[in-house]
C-alpha cells in the first residue's frame, strides 16, 4: 500500500475544521479537463482553434457551392475528418489515463501529521 502524507502548514486547520465543509466542496484531485458530457463540444472547439483545421473546414464549406466545387464533397471532407478523429482519439486516451490516475490518487490512504 502506498500512503499519501499531508502536512498542514499551521495549527489553524484544526481550529477551522468545522467551517471547512461550508467553503470547500471536497479535496479530490481532478486533472482532467473534460467530462463525459463536455468532451465532444469542448474538443471540437479546441480543434477548430488550430489554423490548419480551419483551413480544411474552409475548403469543405467552399466545396458545397457548385460554382467553386473542384473535387467531390466527400473527398474534400476526408482529410479534415481523419485529422479530427485522430486528434479526438488521442485526447480521449489521454483523458482516460488522467482519470484513472486521479482515481488511484483519490482512493489512496492518507496519513495526516498534526503538529
* Domain spans in the chain, listed from the N-terminal domain onward: 36-104
* Residue 38 per-residue DSSP state: T
**Backbone phi, then psi, for 65, in 5-degree steps?**
-90, 125
Q: Is the pLDDT of residue 30 over 80?
A: yes
Percent of the chain predicted with pLDDT > 70: 73
Nearby residues of 88 by Cβ (< 8 Å), 6 or more positions away = 43, 47
Band the pLDDT of 85: cuts 50, 70, 90: very high
Give percent of the chain above pLDDT 90.
Answer: 34
Q: What is the mean pLDDT of residues 52-70?
A: 85
The yes-or-no verdict on residue 107 having pLDDT over 90 is: no
Cell of 92: 480521449
Rg (CA), the chain: 24
State how far the Cα of 81 lies from the Cα of 73, in Å rounded to an integer. 12
Whether the pLDDT of residue 36 is over 70: the answer is: yes
Look up residue 23 and give its three cell numbers.
467553503
Q: Kindly report whether the global pTM for this prediction surpasses the value 0.75.
A: no
Closest Cα to residue 73, out of 84, 90, 61?
61
Residue 70's pLDDT is 74
Q: Is the pLDDT of residue 23 over 60?
A: no
Which run of H or E residues covers position 3? strand 3-6
The more confident residue out of 4 and 69 is: 69
Amino acid at each position: 500500500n502506498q500512503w499519501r502524507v499531508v502536512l498542514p502548514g499551521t495549527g489553524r486547520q484544526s481550529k477551522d475544521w468545522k467551517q471547512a465543509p461550508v467553503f470547500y466542496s471536497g479535496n479530490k484531485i481532478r486533472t482532467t479537463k473534460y467530462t463525459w458530457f463536455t468532451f465532444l463540444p469542448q474538443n471540437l472547439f479546441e480543434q477548430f482553434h488550430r489554423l490548419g483545421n480551419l483551413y480544411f473546414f474552409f475548403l469543405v464549406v467552399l466545396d458545397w457551392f457548385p460554382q467553386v466545387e473542384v473535387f467531390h464533397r466527400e473527398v474534400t471532407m476526408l482529410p479534415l475528418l481523419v485529422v479530427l478523429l485522430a486528434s479526438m482519439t488521442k485526447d480521449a486516451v489521454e483523458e482516460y489515463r488522467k482519470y484513472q490516475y486521479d482515481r488511484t490518487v483519490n482512493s489512496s490512504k492518507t496519513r495526516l501529521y498534526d503538529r
